[in-house]
Structure 1
Amino acid sequence: MRPDVRRWLHHRTFTADTWRAADLVAAKRARGSTVSVVLPALDEERTVGAIVAAIRGTLVEACPLVDEVVVIDSGSSDRTAEVAAAAGARVVSADAVLPRYGCRPGKGEALWKSLHATSGDLLVFVDSDLIAFDPGFVVGLLGPLLTDPGIGYVKALYDRPLTTTDGIVPSGGGRVTELLARPLLNAFWPELAGFVQPLSGEYAGRRELLEQVPFVSGYGVELGLLVDLVALTGLDALAQVDLGTRQHSHQADAALGRMAGQILQTALARRPGGAEPDRELLQFLRTADGLEGVSWDVGVVERPPMRSVRDAERRPGRRS
């Protein structure tokens, strides 16, 4: 293990039970900070309501650690928006945010637009498909940010049980992480090799940093943020927190392949001097007539740093 990674693991890896919500409220008030929790959502009516209710009940009403809970709905066809609103979230349609920039498909687009739709100095991002959600996730992610001004971005780490036909395997999730993301980081950004869950959907950061980096519109957003933020701030400004166990729905291998394609595109775009990669991913289905090739566009679009967008919005005489 590289000495810098070993040192970082020792000084920048925490456990969520280090902090209590009430203590962080005092730290938040002392610093005059505000907190926004963001849930990107697409057809998650089954789980989003319970997550919102848990955050609001525990961290807004019982203990005022969180100032706003915002669900960014990416055009759900089910009752995601209604369920989230009934649970107490402010629901924002991704299409309605910065309409002159249009709307791209993908999770990263919702996260990018959330920077414009929220007001908190600190932002906590939580996936909306989590099962048996623990509001302690939010407390753990905020802990380093509210107690150490040198930390600007915090990733979650956890065990990821995998549900199979034979039952639940305690740590079988995270296939794209182990087969693609971790080898990529170790090969090209070895200083980031200490992140246990580099693709985790739960993380938190300071607005002032998040608004200085681009957001990839698709599934490459997490890897892109890690690579861009370490270049902007250095490794010591990044941290990770052990949240225990995270349960969520799992995707089929073909869907994971398309996710991996977007992550690979994101990584290659950050390598100097490389040719632009082919955006097409060819996958195969077996049909009654034999094998059929299906092509998918796994190219990603990078949204500009929100700071530049805000500057353009303030510029006199801008075109609408």
Structure 2
Amino acid sequence: MISVIIPVLNEGATIRQVIKTIKKTSRPIEIIVVDDNSTDNTVEEAMKERVRVITSSQRGKGISMREGMMAARHDIILYVDGDILTYPDDLVDRLSDPIVKDEADFAKSYFERQAGRVTQLVAKPLLSILFPGLAHFNQPLSGMIAAKKSFLQKVHFENDYGVDIGLLIDMHLMQARIAEVNIGRLENAMQTWEQLSKMSREVSRTILRKAESIPQQNLETLGNINLIREQMEFSILESIDKLEKMVIFNLDETVFTQNYLYLAAVAFGKEDELFQVLERHTNPVDVINEAASLFEGRNIAEMLEVADEIPVTPDIRHVIRELKRRGYVCGFVTDGFEFVGNHMKNKLGADFVFANRLHLIHSVATGEVTIPDYFLHGVNGSAEYNKSHVLKYIQEKYHISPQNVIYVGNGETDRAMLQDAGIGVAYHPQFVDAETVADKVIEDVCMAPLLEIAQAGPARTDGQWLSKRQVRNIGLGSLAVVATAGLLYLAARQIRKALKPDEATALKPA
């Protein structure tokens, strides 16, 4: 069995054709598309081919490749670029043949075209000096490769243009059997001089760093050590011109039908520890920090698999698509983790996510978490955690009045948010009389009634929405799902009752 991994970034125009070509193989395969936080329709197009799609935790091809490998279920891994339309129909067979026949541990492709300038002027000269055993490779920077998973688990994936040459060198240093495979004639887009300059620096830097025999001071002279990129900054809103109407969904309560944090704790055998955290603390920040520590050592593929097992509100994808067609920008807020929110954002076609940032090193959770400023109000140690602060953040940074925001929550954990937004919608409320805080209530299990609310909601006077009706001040702020011990405890108990024992067992990793 073979796992074919396609790292993609804004390749909506080509991804379906690439997938269709891959499917022409006679060998049993799974296809995993790893989206690098695209801003076009890449995810939507890939999902039309009914393949598995996951979202990379951080922008960069190397991280996407590593996280795709983590998610792969089979022992042979193929990596294929998502922007080439001239692959041969037998691409999978050609690349995997040396591995399947146990003639090689790693297969590097080459194809018929003139070698690129970075290959000729940078990669090959450096390889001939530092790694002469690799100098004969036609295209050492080729991204179409195959390998045994057991070898890939031991290498370091660079997170820039150096990733492909880095893998080749690492395999060489591990004394893996390396084959070079001709995959025919390919055509791909020419790169700009700016891209070529960046590629040249990053490729040379990777080769130099891999050459352990060169003194460190020479390495620093010939190329600066590559800095690992920071997790992609939340920026999608800044690219949207004349943003006026927004819908924010509580991911945990209105998109997921069950609580992610609780089910992840069940899946990883941390259920009792989670309840102990909730019983010990009432401060939201303390709860979030300690809850995050329960996932230390878990990799992103395992954690996203839990998210994929949770059913979502039946028509949520359709509702988001229709809202966007009407000019709304749609996104999620969650007290959980940003990479889970980004994954669901891409699967469902939303635009942005407000979430806490679980720290990952090599795509594995460290147990530490950063709470973004948009959830906090106050200074220093006195900062108060509250999701409703997001509305003030949106107003200050993006100049969108809270009156132009529709917020969809479930009532109990979203009181301040429901009350402060232009229109507060309590979806399928379970815990409180939502009439006290929300403008509208959706009792249906589907989200379709929101379209009627959104249709009637944006009545405008002099360019502004009409103010929401006055509701009584209940004197309570919105408390985070993971930050209110009693509320989450009660919610989790209900989930445990509803979750059959065999369902809970099924979520646990093998």
Q: Pick the TM interval, shorter chain.
A: 0.5 to 0.7
Q: How many residue pairs align between the two structures?
A: 235
Pick from 117, 130, 145 the counterpart of residue 175 of structure 1: 117
Partner Cα separation in structure 2 for residue 54 and residue 242 of structure 1? 17
Equivalent residues of 2:10, 2:42 under 8 A apart: yes
Residue type of the partner of 1:92? I
Q: Could you list the per-position Cα deviations for residues 13-63 of structure 1 after superposition, in whole angstroms to 9, with x for gaps in the alignment?
A: xxxxxxxxxxxxxxxxxxxxx21001110001111110112222x12xxx3
Q: What do the CA deviations read for 1:247-282 (whole angstroms, capped 9, x no partner)?
A: 11121111111011111111121223223537999x
| Offset of residue 300 of structure 1 | 4.7
Q: Decide which of 344, 350, 367 is 1:319's aligned counterpart.
A: 367
Is the contact made by 2:5 and 2:78 (CA closer than 8 Å) also made in structure 1? yes
User: Counterpart in 1 of 2:210?
Assistant: 270
Match of 1:158 in 2: 111
CA RMSD across the alignment? 2.6
Q: Tell whether the 8 Å contact from 1:279 to 1:299 is kept in structure 2 after alignment.
A: no
Alignment counterpart, residue 73 of structure 2, candidates 115, 119, 137: 119
Q: Secondary structure at the match of 1:36?
A: strand
Specify the structure having the higher radius of gyration (Cα): 2
Residue 468 of structure 2 is matched in structure 1 by none
Q: 1:218 matched to which residue of 2?
A: 160
Normalising by structure 1, report the TM-score: 0.68
Higher strand share: 1
The residue matched to 2:184 in structure 1 has which SS?
strand
1:183, distance to aligned residue in structure 2 (A) = 0.8
CA contact (8 A) 1:125 1:201 kept: yes
Question: SS of the counterpart of 1:130?
Answer: coil
Would the aligned equivalents of 2:79 and 2:143 in 1 still touch at CA under 8 Å?
A: yes
2:367 is paired with a residue whose SS is: coil
Q: In structure 2, what is the Cα distance between the partners aligned to 1:121 and 1:278?
A: 40
TM-score, structure 2 as length reference: 0.43
C-alpha distance in 1 between matches for 2:85 and 2:220: 36
**In structure 2, distance between residues paired with 1:50 and 1:263:** 29
State how far apart, in whole Å, the 2-side matches of 1:129 and 1:202 are.
12
Contact 2:208–2:223 (Cα < 8 Å) also in 1: no
Secondary structure at the aligned position of 2:111 is classed as strand
Pairing 1:301–2:228 present: yes
User: Which residue in the other structure is 1:45 paired with?
Assistant: 12
Counterpart-to-counterpart distance in 2, 1:238 and 1:42: 28
SS at match of 1:240: strand
Q: Is the 2:60–2:159 contact (alpha carbons within 8 Å) kept by the matching residues of 1?
A: yes
After superposition, the C-alpha distances for 1:43-101 in whole angstroms (9 at most, x for unaligned) are 01111110112222x12xxx3x1421111000101001111111232111102xxxxxx
User: Is the Cα contact below 8 Å between 2:81 and 2:143 reproduced in 1?
Assistant: yes
**C-alpha separation between the residues in 1 aligned to 2:182 and 2:42?**
29
Q: Is 1:216–1:300's contact at 8 Å kept on the other side of the alignment?
A: no
Residue identity opposite 2:32 in structure 1: V
Structure 1 pair 267–301 and aligned structure 2 pair: CA distance change class (3 A): farther
Q: Secondary structure at the match of 2:154?
A: coil
Amino acid at match of 1:277: E
Q: Could you say what secondary structure the match of 1:264 adopts? A: helix
1:238 positional shift: 0.4
Distance 1:207 1:191 in 2: 23
1:91 aligns with 2:91: no
Structure 1: gaps of 5 or more residues? 1-33, 96-102, 161-170, 282-297, 303-310
Aligned to 1:249: 189
Partner of 1:190: 132
What stretches of structure 2 of length at least 5 have no aligned partner? 230-295, 300-365, 369-510
Q: 1:77 to 1:183 in 2, by over 3 A?
A: same
Residue 131 (structure 1) shift: 2.0
CA deviations on 1:192-245 (whole Å, 9 max, x unpaired) are 1121110001010000001011110111011111111111125xx000111121
Query: 1:293 corresponds to which residue?
Result: none
Change (3 A) 1:157 1:37: same
Q: Which has the higher contact order (CA 8 A, sep 6+)?
A: 1
1:272-316 CA-partner distances (Å, limit 9, x unpaired): 3223537999xxxxxxxxxxxxxxxx93539xxxxxxxx9449xx
Give the Cα separation in 2 of the matches to 1:154 and 1:183: 22
**Offset, 1:319:** 3.4
